[in-house]
Amino acid sequence: MNAAFTAEELEFQQEVRQFLEAEFPADIKNKVDRHIRLVKDDYVRWQKILYNRGWAAPNWPVEHGGTGWTPVQKYIFSSECARVGAPETVPFGLKMVAPVIFTYGSEEQKQRFLPDILASNVWWCQGYSEPNAGSDLASLKTTAVREGDHYIVNGTKTWNTFGQYADWIFCLVRTDPSAKKQEGISFLLIDMKTPGITLSPIVLIDGQPEVNEVHFQDVRVPVDNRVGEENEGWTYAKVLLTHERTNIAGVPHSRVRMGKLRELAAKTPDGNGGNMLEDPVFAQRVAELEIQIWALEYAELRTLAAVSTGKAPGPESSILKIAGTEAAQHLDELFMQLAAWQSLPYVPEQFEDSFKGRAVGTEASAVTALEYFNNRKQSIYGGSNEIQKNIICKAVLGL
């Protein structure tokens, strides 16, 4: 890609590198390098640094605080952040609910919510999936019955990521139970401190309570917190999901991980006097995956170019979601192959605290299994890959 950069783009790349060298906190970088789990304060602190520079929301319109960057500048920025290990922006506020608010929300909602989202003053979470409505999201049962100037919300949302930290949740709720599945849904913004909301943590296979069930019992939500028209929430949700699926592709992160995989493979004996990069079967798998990631990168650049003209991501977001998550999981499998027996012990507490005093890199094999387990969810969240294939069949192939 560097061969295609203009002089202005190379100058911008240098500006980003200088910013990251000066402003990316050393303690957060140390955690990333040592595979120590980041906490909420780490994410918020980094996002506020980006906000102070004016770089928190590259995909927002300029009038709401966006950068006005070209697709290539966005590509350069995300690539440079991934190169140094800067954590990705937590998506629920900046990348998911904000586009819905600035596209469909009222002026009052834009003034009320967007500044705090941009400055990372408020932590958001998502209320879409339910115990019996995951991939078939339109089957959701959480109800919102209007009583005067409030909705009374009852139901349960599940797989709610980081809900334990959230100040607000954006929810799909059923406001017309007699309508067709997609036609009776509304989009609500709900303060998590509202009486009647409780959380039940869900411990994942890597031992962490990253997600939750959120229960609503007679929760009163002002009608003013509804985005757009009543019963039109499915339209807004589809826009949000296309942004989410595009973000899930994670190309810069996969490229960096591919580089680390090659470095590790060059140091890992193959049992025949050489290293794993000299093993023909393993080398072929690495080459095939590298080609896949490069192809994915160009597809993402085309999507960014379309978004920069004001279009919402279309069915290509489903293609990016499938290819991106499959590439990330293939990387996990190759790392597991390199770690071999070192990835077998499963004692969660040994993987983080016990490595804080060791040299960078010594913990890589030990956390491989945890990352493998955690990343199995990538092909499910944001709409399972099987559902994405159905979307592609209908929207692209006309089947």
pTM of the model: 0.83
Report, as residue numbers or ranges, the catalytic residues. 244
Q: Residue 244 pLDDT more than 60? A: no
Multiple choice CATH, 249-395, 1.20.140.10, 3.40.50.2300, 1.10.10.10, 3.40.630.30: 1.20.140.10
Among the listed ranges 32-46, 208-222, 338-352, which one has the minimum average pLDDT value? 338-352
Mean pLDDT of 311-318: 68
Mean pLDDT of 112-127: 96
Q: Residue 332 pLDDT more than 60? A: yes
* pLDDT reported for residue 2: 46
User: Thinking of the domain 124-231, which architecture would CATH place it in?
Assistant: Beta Barrel (2.40)
Mean pLDDT (the chain) is 86
Query: What SS3 string covers the chain?
Result: CHHHCCHHHHHHHHHHHHHHHHHCCHHHHHHHHCCCCCCHHHHHHHHHHHHHHCCCCCCCCHHHCCCCCCHHHHHHHHHHHHHHCCCCCCHHHHHHHHHHHHHHCCHHHHHHHHHHHHCCCCCEEEECCECCECCCHHHCCCEEEEECCEEEEEEEEEEEECHHHCCEEEEEEECCCCCCHHHCEEEEEEECCCCCEEEEEECCCCCCCCEEEEEEEEEEEEHHHEECCCCEHHHHHHHHHHHHHHHHCCHHHHHHHHHHHHHHHHHCECCCCCEHHHCHHHHHHHHHHHHHHHHHHHHHHHHHHHHHCCCCCCCHHHHHHHHHHHHHHHHHHHHHHHHHHHHCCCCHHHCCHHHCCCCCCCCHHHHHHHHHHHHHHHHCCCCCHHHHHHHHHHHCCCC
Domain locations in the chain?
2-89, 124-231, 249-395
* pLDDT reported for residue 133: 80
Mean pLDDT of 89-108: 93
Q: Do domains 124-231 and 249-395 have the same CATH topology?
A: no
* pLDDT reported for residue 391: 76
Q: Residue 357 pLDDT more than 50? A: no
* pLDDT reported for residue 287: 94
Mean pLDDT of 155-174: 95
